[in-house]
Amino acid sequence: MKYLLIIFLFICQLDALDFKQKLILKTVKNVASHYPDKNGRTFEYTAMAICMTETSGGKLNFGDKQLLKKGIKKASYGIMQVRLGTARFVAKKFNLKDVAKMSDLELIKKMMHNNLFNAKIGVLYIVWCSNNSKSYFETVSRYNGGKVNYPYYNKVQKNLKLIKKHKL
């Protein structure tokens, strides 16, 4: 019985979001509400679910530690885990002149320490993915680097349910 209680408490903890996570997810939601795709759809909940999938709602600052060993240009940064190349791509596609003028180091630093900026780049990439995909599944898969990525898509969907459960 004691072990069942411990397992129950552990499961409840996994399902809980702390104040910082909720704040970051609401920031992502707000940013996403301002950038529709070519069909007028916005991706508030998708962006929040991707943020949860990528960084547990901001608990991690950068990922792809294996890629970091290959150089800072290969790693992903910030709450939406945006790579330098992706940020440059988004800047070009959406004519973000201020981003285009930044050095690589400046851009990485801004992606690491400015959640609003990082969310904007991530959301604009979702919008680009949507504009260039045939389905929602493909849009989500593309965010993680491919047209077909069932494991990633399933993780995002799981986090989407968690976000809706918390009514964020």
Which of 166, 147, 118, 138 is closest to 14 using CA atoms?
166
Query: pLDDT for 120-138, tens place per residue?
Result: 999 999 999 999 999 999 9
Does an H or E element contain 29, and which? helix 19-32
* pLDDT given at position 14: 47
pTM for the full predicted model: 0.86
What digits encode the pLDDT tens for the residues 44-96?
A: 999 999 999 999 988 766 555 555 666 777 788 999 999 999 999 999 999 99
Residues whose CB is less than 8 angstroms from the CB of residue 74 and which lie 6 or more positions away in sequence, other chains included: 64, 67, 68, 83
Q: Which domains does the chain have, with CATH numbers?
A: 18-165 (1.10.530.10)
